[in-house]
Structure 1
Amino acid sequence: AAGGGRKIGLNSIALNPSVEQEFCVAGDDSMVRVFDRRKLGQPVRLLYPGTASRSRHITCATYSYDGAEIVATYSEDAIYLFANREGSVPGEYVRKYEGHLNERTVKGVNVFGPRSEFVVSGSDCGNLFFWDKATGDAVQMLHGDRDVVNCLEPHPHLPVLATSGIDSDVKVWAPTREEPEGGDKFAQRLERQAKTNHHSVRASRRVQMLQTSMEQMAQEGGFAVSFETLFRAFMGARAVDDEEEEAMDESDDDDDDDDDDDDDDD
């Protein structure tokens, strides 16, 4: 149900990771509808790009790691990032991601990184596309399938990504230590593919954000390699969390010592 009595076919539903009562749905029109499950009569907000044609529809929508943003991929159009907050203006979007092709099948979209630093999508051309979420620049393109890449699911804690498409394999991507492809070479390869897909694309010159040199290590249900730098980002984030936990433990120990001193004084 679309809200307001009208019904549409749904392609996607996602739960807000930070707000238990909130979820969003998207499907056979151009709007992402955000609902509060305690009052389902009307959506609490509508998100859509004013530039999108009314004939376009959404094949997938998902939340960022903290629920503050929603990313949606449109059939025969681009991927859009929306601010998910009270006061969000219908028709406005934060960022646009281009270069892939979403026409033939129902494409997924996802965020990647400990704090959703990247947007990742499959494509009709068989490639995986990665964009810097903050800038909209493309930072990586990997060959993921002989035909179409539809589904992408990141590991909840590690820099590992599972993908699937038209063939019979699920591919799992993990870090490598190979040298990254040069920025100019990557940009040229990306721009050629985007032109084939009838889209424009802006390639990031900071290609070292993701590992761009890759090879598929096993064709049948096996592993492929990618992006050592993102692995470091994950490990760095985990290290910070561990340090914070140690600091909290030390603080608790100090508090316990203070309490013991107070008891001795009494």
Structure 2
Amino acid sequence: MDPTLSENDYPFVCRSSVLPGISSCLTRYLGHLANIFNVKMLPHSSNIATVAGDGQVRVHQVGEIATSGPPATAQLSSRDTCLHRLRCHERRVKRIEMEDSPHLFLTAAEDGTVRQHDLRVAHSCSDYGSCPPPLLRLNFELSSLSLSPLTPFQLVVAGESAYGYLFDRRHAGRFLLEERGMVENGMTHCIRRFGRPASPAVDIRSNREHITGCRMSTQNGHEVLVPYAADAVYLYSTLDQPMEEDSMASAHPSSANNDHSKPMPPTVLGDDSSSTTDDDMDLDIDENASEEENERLIANLDEFVSRDAYSRVPLILPRTRFAGARNVETIKDVNFLGPDDEYVTSGSDDGNFFIWRKDGSLHGLFEGDGSVVNVIEPHPHLPLLATSGIDTTVKLFAPVSGPSTFSRMDSAARIIESNARQSRSYRKLRRHDFTALLAAVTADESPQCSHQ
């Protein structure tokens, strides 16, 4: 299992057993200047990679500390253990995804980029332009990244957007499927979007879209889980046929506006008249206009094209919706469970974590944190899973022969109804905030009365 985080947001390596209360912290690694969001072991090595809110990616040498010697609580500084400190990202780094190599891994950050790091290639991030170009770049914050070892050429990213995006790294040079809507992005191509169908319960036109996580199945390589903020978890398959363009507008009433800070010309998904062509890119730039005005027009055009670029990428709708958990207060991840990924699990704001069967029915409901459960990670081989959240402990769960002390299935109906009610209240609050913001903008732009 991956190393985890302590109450002070230090990565630490621990020794533990499945028996309650038997665990010991071996070492804590210091160095990051802000919250650590993700920690992963590098395959085929004894090193760990960490990413944090300080925008740094660090690789620490664990050595033999985690496998030998008496338990200790030593704090090791970055000077003692840090092998690499990368500052290629411009904003907070949220996720790490390992490849089958001790030298290669991917990171996603709030600057909208996914970068591939090769520890065999030295570079200085302090030198302008010395960092390798990102693998892909989007114009919204990314908070999640996932790939499957069965299909390592594909990766899913998600964040401050109405959609999850599937990119493929195999397409290079001339790409013959661009006429079908697939969009080139650096060294990758966006080949699919994952979105929700229209629903009266989710007013996506008034709420700011936010996907809090994504997960590709490690057992089949085609299933994808996507949890939406203030909504449910959705299961997709990359093998499903995308929607026809004629029905895309009715499936999702939102435009492809991923930049919520600036207005965008209205578009309707599937409407060929709204798609961006080469002719649309030709602006009538006044020869007498100032150079500054022309630069502004070109910049606005680039922003429009960037936001509209993915509106015609084939859209896949979910196979199953998993409801019951509350995903409002913090960032919730999602995961598969079981030897064949036959279960789906997610944390909740109520301190519980939910386990569903693939048909959407609830399989288990357990207390996992004193406040909020954010992350659930299963052991790769043993029937164990670890949960972490807001409180200062990490819980390790194992099967028991009798009833579980932590089971909340007897209160499942009440918990689910309470979560649904609070999620609805949150959506109503967001709609109220959106309406108030529009009213404030309108008031600022209206003429002022001169008769006092």
Please confirm whether the aligned pair reaches a TM-score higher than 0.5, indicating the same fold: yes
The worse-fitting range, judged by mean Cα deviation, of 67-76 and 32-41 is 32-41
User: Percent of aligned positions with the same letter in both sequences?
Assistant: 35
Counterpart code for 1:168: T
- CA distance in 2 between counterparts of 1:84 and 1:29 reads 19
**Residue matched to 1:60:** 213
Specify which of 398, 416, 431 is matched with residue 194 of structure 1: 416
Contact 1:100 1:199 in 2 (8 A): no
Structure 2 counterpart of 1:46, from 171, 193, 202? 193
**Following the alignment from structure 1 to structure 2, what is the Cα–Cα distance between the partners of residues 179 and 60?**
31
Out of 142, 156, 170, the position equivalent to 2:394 is 170
Q: Which runs of 5+ in 1 are unaligned?
A: 201-266
Given that residues 108 and 150 in structure 1 are in contact (C-alpha distance below 8 angstroms), is that contact kept between their aligned partners in structure 2? Answer: yes
1:6-85 alignment, distance < 5 Å:
7-39=139-171, 41=185, 42-51=189-198, 53=204, 55-64=208-217, 65-85=219-239
Displacement after TM superposition at 1:180 (Å): 6.9
Amino acid corresponding to residue 161 of structure 1 in structure 2? L
Q: CA deviation at 1:91?
A: 5.1
- Structure 1 counterpart SS, 2:380: coil
Q: Distance in 2 between matches of 1:10 and 1:43?
A: 15
Cα offset for 1:199? 5.7
| AA matched with 2:221 | G
- TM-aligned CA distance change 1:44 to 1:167, over 3 Å: same
SS of 1:198 mapped into structure 2: helix
Q: Confirm or deny that 1:108 pairs with 2:371.
A: no
- The number of aligned residues is 195
Question: Which whole-Å CA distance do the structure 1 matches of 2:316 and 2:238 have between them?
Answer: 13
Measure, in 2, the Cα distance between the counterparts of 1:102 and 1:80.
13
1:88 aligns to what? Answer: 242
Q: Give unpaired runs (5+ residues) of structure 2.
A: 1-111, 114-134, 172-183, 244-314, 423-452
**Structure number having the greater helix percentage:** 1
Of structures 1 and 2, the larger Rg is shown by 2
CA distance in 2, matches of 1:17, 1:31: 23
**What is the root-mean-square deviation of aligned Cα atoms in Å?**
2.5
**Does structure 2 retain, via aligned residues, the 8 Å contact 1:99–1:199?**
no
Indicate the structure whose relative CO is greater, using CA pairs within 8 Å and at least 6 residues apart. 1
Change (3 A) 1:99 1:58: same
- Give me the whole-angstrom Cα distance separating, in 1, the residues matched to 2:140 and 2:231: 19
Which runs of structure 1 show a deviation greater than 4 angstroms over 4 or more consecutive aligned residues?
1-6
Which residue type is aligned with residue 192 of structure 1?
R
Deviation at 1:88, TM superposition (A): 3.1
* TM-score, normalised relative to structure 2: 0.41
The answer to whether the Cα contact below 8 Å between 1:61 and 1:71 also exists between their aligned partners in 2 is yes
Q: How does 1:83-232 map to 2 (within 5 A)?
A: 83-85=237-239, 87-89=241-243, 90=315, 92-133=317-358, 135-179=359-403, 186=409, 189-198=411-420
Tell me, yes or no, if the aligned pair for 2:242 and 2:316 is still in contact at 8 Å.
no
SS in 2 for 1:66: coil
CA distance in structure 2 between the aligned counterparts of 1:103 and 1:96, rounded to whole angstroms: 17
- Partner residue of 2:290? none
> What CA distance in whole angstroms lies between the structure 1 residues aligned with 2:144 and 2:210?
11
Distance in structure 2 (CA, Å) of the matches to 1:4 and 1:156:
29
Tell me the TM-score normalised to structure 1 length. 0.67
Aligned to 1:254: none
Q: Secondary structure at the match of 1:12?
A: strand
Between the aligned partners of 2:376 and 2:352, the Cα distance in structure 1 is 12
Residue of structure 1 equivalent to 2:293: none
CA drift at 1:49:
1.2
Q: CA deviation at 1:7?
A: 0.7
Give the AA of the match of 2:226: A
Instruction: Check 1:86–1:138 CA distance in 2 against 1; reply closer, same or farther (3 A cut).
Output: closer
Change (3 A) 1:71 1:57: same
Residue of structure 2 equivalent to 1:228: none
Relative to 1, partners in 2 of residues 1:136 and 1:47: Cα closer, same or farther, differing over 3 Å? same
Deviation at 1:38, TM superposition (A): 3.7
**Does structure 2 conserve the Cα–Cα contact (< 8 Å) formed by 1:26 and 1:33?**
yes
